[in-house]
Structure 1
Amino acid sequence: MSERLTRVLQLGIVLVVAVVAAVVSWFIFFDIPADLTDLLGVLLVIATVVAAIQLGGRIANAAFPSYDVAEVAVEGPITRDGGRGPIPGGAIGTPADDIVEQIDAASEDTHAEALLLKLNTPGGEVLPSDDIRRAAAEFDGPTVAYATDVCASGGYWIASGCDELWSHDASVVGSIGVIGSSVNASELADRLGITYERFAAGKYKDAGNVLKEPTDDEREYLQGLIDDYYDDFVETVAEGREMDPETIRETEARVYLGEEASAIGLVDELGTRADVEDRLAALLDRDEVTVEEFTPQAGLMARLRGSAERVAYSFGAGVASTLDADDGFTFRF
């Protein structure tokens, strides 16, 4: 169905709904009640028609969608539940399950022929990030990732599941690395007279516990986990981005501005949002595309909280995937 015909059908539905509402409201609010003033009746008719036009527009958009590209945004740190922000009940980022749900909805929508994944994230937890990457990779159609402010660590992991990655020339891109950390408070505990009593089954169960000095063997064990995570990260990115693994290792987990990231192959193209839409139009072999944003349903207060918190977290790179063990040791991509 052509875009022009779609617009005509949408307009037709809106007009029909408006006319029906006008006729019904005229009889209900003006013609039948003899004690209502003419002015009140007219105002009620107008109010009803306006509401009907809005309803008709939603019905028309649902019946004859005019979009051909679905946009899903990944903003803020990536966690399973969106994380906890400074405002009670607020979320720092978008819950990964919600993002996956919207990508899946786009996959099932016959009108969404391509996927635009907007990335503005410093990274996030391992499995939630990978869930988003897999969902994008499984989309049946062209997929383009677009980095706005930051596409680092877990964000870059997600981008590796898309066909192309675009960014601004000043976007922050990269941070392909892994860090493991644990606070060592053993000396402070000694000064305070706090002792550590070990009750554990398994040699390495309490490796990295904050109240004891790690042994050389434990350090080697934990570093081995870091190395395994890093190898997996490099292999996944290399496969998804069709890059030489050694090129990725040579970045040494640095972040780059978009222009330099493009020069070394971390980014396919530099451009604006309009350039990205032109590219999607070329991939779909048409003159232009219409983008529809797929977002999870949320109340007004939740949306206001999310907007405020995303401003605070919109710029920051390097903090990505976290996996907290019960012994206090933390892994981060």
Structure 2
Amino acid sequence: MKYFVEKEDFIFNTRVYQKICYDNNDIKTKEIEEIAEKAIKLMRQFEEKLSFFYESSEVSSINENASNGFIKISNDTFEILKKSIYYSKLTNGIFDITIAPLVKAWAINSDNPTILSKEKIDELIDLVDYEDVILNKNNSTVMLLRKNQKIDLGGIAKGYIADKIIDFYKENNIDSAIINIGGNIKVLGQKDENSFWSIGIYEPKKHSEKIICSIEAKDKSIVTSGGYERAFSYNGELYCHILNPKTGYPIKSDLKSITIVSDKSIDGDSLSTPLFIMGKNKAYEFMKKHNISGVMITDKDEIIVTKNLLEGFKLFEDYKVLAF
């Protein structure tokens, strides 16, 4: 019989949920609870390094020293920056951590979002260029090339942390678990001997708790991106919280959400938002070209799912399902 321990917390300004499964014959509940607590401490350590909002974080140090030369960073931060540049190149700049000045100016995630003028957008978008993130791997240092440039790792850090937490579970002889960091889900092993993990995909509407379909997963990451949760309305127009680094404006997509299924959560985290920005057709072509698995929900209430996920796919609502 399988037993489990559940823990919730709030890290990186988002809800974190852990579920660790175990066989009571092999390990005691107290030991599992200690592992879950240590995982929370580990996540907080990552937050202290990687948060845009912590003045003492490595990200803040990088931003404060823009154009002032190289600064030393930890191996974790260096690895995330290296992967960020990789995905910026892969998506032709649609993923770009240097979009931070625009995100801060729009402030769509705050209580007081701002409608930016074209002049202000033109001024800030000039600072957006991932090629200005200069890494020196010989001594683990980084520099932002120009003054006032800033980075924000919010589009990649949660995936990196999810991967690290799964590694931590494995080091502690856990073979069945799930970690959910604000929608960045990663599962370890199977739920039990007879079944994989079943991961629900929610109706892409604000505050909706309706699951419209689900997929089965074992040792996989599942990351969803959509513009429905955080947005604001001004003069009858809806502004999504996701900005296009190429234009500086909130995006308008023919997708309601996109879910990426991958081995590494850092990959799903880095790709889900750029693919959402691309829209249905370009996302489809990109996924085909790079052999990416996932589920798209369109503005016409179609569900487009990659064929390799069909075996464990379940539909609960009246949506048209297409496969590729």
Does TM, scored on the shorter chain, surpass 0.5?
no
User: Per residue, is there more helix in 1 or in 2?
Assistant: 1
**Pair member with larger Rg:** 1
TM-score by length of 1: 0.24
Task: Report the structure, 1 or 2, having the larger strand content.
Answer: 2
Q: Which has the higher contact order (CA 8 A, sep 6+)?
A: 1
